[in-house]
């Protein structure tokens, strides 16, 4: 038994959506055995553009029952049935979320007539309900009203049931382990199955081949699947548009981050927002107090006109200063890692020689601070970060020349390198953006052991 459903809503995303009309046809595989249709008072304003699409306005639903008043009818007609809808993820998730807000559970097996149609009647340019009904000569009246769309979906479902070879397809789609109802309606199942389980970046594309989202992952296939389970409004809208997924392997998380950043800045996909914002920067600076003791501290870059070093979040600033304290035996108090204390007692920094207790002279302490500042200013040098490659026989590298990020590359582990120039043939040049600087700096703060400043004759292994 099937319950074939269509709803109209206020159109405010899944979590803010409210049902304005619902239609359910109970179908036994041969004929309609029951029907339930009702307007619903959403208890909120209906936007003008929704009224323009559906014809449902605030006056029409003012005296309609609230959802809480008709939940028993919905539960009863859909009880022990398979929930069917065109793009089932939308209708099912809106109803499930609305019921959850009322303290009720709504769980049904699902079938999607979009995915079923793509599998059983391939080759159409569009699988929207209107286009499909037109192509298959299915009568569709009262478009964008719940009963009209639900009735047309019932007729479409009836045709799909009777196509040769439909039975095993339906069984596969209803399998508890099947991902058919999870995948976006327009995305071919094989595209998902062909995704790798290794690090890299991935591209969501719409039906026209335009990139609409770029992401990075340690496991591309697993990360992509997580988008399909995410019920956030943006994720649902993005997945509804996704018709193809492409990818590029990176070998490591660091290279994936750099690849993702560059790709986002090149394509500016509509669903990527994180790197379109301004990056907040923080600067480490030094000053001398009234006792002549040199301090190290950090603040927002606009408050530090001559920064010794620049970071992109306060966590990295603190971690870097902690390492400076350990390396040069500085005091956590005078590096502002502890505030409002008489003497330092930092749980990770044990090397203070006693400037805060009077056991070390100001002159000796300041000399150490000067050395630390000199060390932090050593930015104009050539650096290489070595990472895993895309295969066991390959290594990846990230190259910094004269203090600037110049790109990444991949090379065979047996390749002999003596100088930075030996890496040039394998280098994939990139722009030195603020986001790339932030990524590299954050990585080095947490993984200083992966940095190579000089080469001896060696192979990358």
Cα 351 to Cα 343: distance, rounded to the nearest angstrom = 13
Are residues 22 and 118 both part of a single domain?
yes
On whether residue 179 sits in a domain, the answer given is: no
Are residues 43 and 107 both part of a single domain?
yes
Are residues 37 and 130 both part of a single domain?
yes
Are residues 310 and 342 both part of a single domain?
yes
**What six digits make up the tokens of 261?**
């950043």
Are residues 286 and 420 both part of a single domain?
no
Say whether pTM exceeds 0.85: no
Are residues 116 and 255 both part of a single domain?
no
Are residues 33 and 137 both part of a single domain?
yes
Are residues 391 and 432 both part of a single domain?
yes
How far CA 53 is from CA of 142, 205, 460, in Å, comes to 11, 26, 61
Cα 442 to Cα 446: distance, rounded to the nearest angstrom = 7
- Range of 319's domain? 282-376
On whether residue 140 sits in a domain, the answer given is: yes
Are residues 38 and 115 both part of a single domain?
yes
CATH number at residue 225: 3.40.1440.10
Residue at which a domain ends, from 259, 276, 293:
276
- Name 110's bridge partners: 83
Per-residue pLDDT tens listing for the chain (461 residues): 999 999 999 986 656 689 999 999 999 999 999 999 999 999 999 988 889 889 999 999 999 999 999 999 999 999 999 999 998 888 998 999 899 989 999 999 999 999 999 989 998 888 889 999 999 999 988 888 999 999 999 999 999 999 999 999 898 888 755 566 678 888 888 899 999 999 999 999 998 999 999 999 999 999 999 898 776 778 888 998 999 999 999 999 999 999 999 999 999 999 997 655 556 788 899 999 999 999 999 999 888 878 888 887 888 889 889 999 999 999 999 999 998 899 998 888 888 999 999 999 999 999 999 999 988 877 546 788 999 999 999 999 999 887 778 999 999 988 888 777 888 899 999 988 888 888 988 888 788 777 665 444 344 44
Are residues 312 and 342 both part of a single domain?
yes
CATH number at residue 165: 3.30.420.10
On whether residue 183 sits in a domain, the answer given is: no
On whether residue 397 sits in a domain, the answer given is: yes
**What six digits make up the tokens of 401?**
């020349």
Closest residue by Cα to residue 334 from 312, 347, 353: 353
202-224 burial: b if 16+ Cβ within 10 Å, else e: bbbbbeeeebbbbbbbeebbebb
Are residues 443 and 302 both part of a single domain?
no
Residue at which a domain ends, from 231, 252, 276:
276
Are residues 155 and 265 both part of a single domain?
no
Strands 451-452, 19-27: pairing is unpaired
Residue at which a domain ends, from 212, 247, 276:
276
Domain count of the chain? 4
On whether residue 300 sits in a domain, the answer given is: yes
């Amino acid at each position: 038994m099937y319950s074939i459903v269509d709803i109209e809503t206020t159109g405010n995303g899944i979590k803010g959506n409210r049902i304005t009309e619902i239609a359910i046809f109970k179908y036994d595989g041969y004929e309609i055995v029951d029907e339930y249709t009702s307007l619903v008072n959403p208890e909120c304003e209906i936007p003008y553009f929704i009224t323009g699409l559906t014809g449902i306005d605030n006056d029409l639903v003012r005296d309609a029952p609230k959802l809480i008043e008709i939940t028993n009818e919905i539960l009863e007609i859909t009880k022990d049935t398979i929930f069917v809808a065109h793009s089932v993820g939308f209708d099912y998730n809106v109803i499930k979320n609305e019921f959850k807000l009322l303290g009720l559970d709504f769980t049904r097996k699902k079938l999607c007539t979009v995915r079923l149609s793509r599998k059983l009647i391939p080759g159409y340019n569009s699988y929207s309900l209107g286009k499909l009904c037109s192509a298959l000569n299915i009568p569709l009246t009262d478009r964008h009203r719940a009963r009209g769309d639900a009735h047309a979906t019932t007729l479409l479902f009836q045709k799909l049931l009777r196509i040769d070879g439909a039975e095993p397809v339906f069984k596969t789609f209803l399998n508890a382990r099947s991902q058919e109802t999870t995948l976006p309606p327009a995305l071919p199942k094989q595209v998902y199955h062909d995704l790798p389980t290794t690090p890299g970046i991935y591209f969501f594309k719409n039906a026209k081949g335009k990139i609409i989202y770029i992401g990075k992952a340690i496991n591309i296939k697993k990360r992509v699947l997580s988008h399909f389970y995410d019920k956030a409004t943006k994720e649902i809208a993005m997945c509804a548009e996704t018709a193809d997924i492409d990818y590029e392997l990176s070998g490591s998380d660091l290279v994936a981050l750099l690849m993702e950043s560059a790709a986002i800045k090149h394509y500016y996909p509509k669903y990527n927002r994180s790197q379109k914002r301004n990056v907040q920067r923080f600067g480490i600076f030094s000053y001398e107090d009234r006792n002549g003791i040199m301090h190290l501290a950090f603040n927002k870059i606009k408050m530090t006109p001559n920064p010794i070093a620049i970071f992109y979040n306060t966590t990295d600033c603190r971690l870097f200063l902690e390492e400076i304290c350990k390396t040069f035996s500085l005091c956590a108090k005078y590096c502002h890692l502890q505030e409002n204390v008489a003497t330092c007692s930092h749980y990770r920094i044990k090397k203070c020689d006693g400037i805060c207790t009077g056991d070390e002279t100001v002159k000796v302490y300041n000399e150490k601070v000067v050395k630390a500042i000199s060390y932090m200013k050593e930015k104009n040098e050539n650096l290489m970060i070595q990472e895993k490659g895309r295969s066991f026989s390959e290594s990846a590298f990230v190259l910094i020349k004269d203090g600037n990020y110049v790109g990444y590359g991949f090379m065979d582990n047996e390749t002999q390198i003596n100088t930075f120039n030996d890496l040039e043939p394998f280098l994939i040049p990139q722009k030195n953006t603020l986001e790339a600087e932030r990524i590299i700096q954050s990585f080095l703060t947490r993984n200083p052991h992966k940095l190579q400043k000089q080469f001896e004759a060696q192979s990358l292994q």
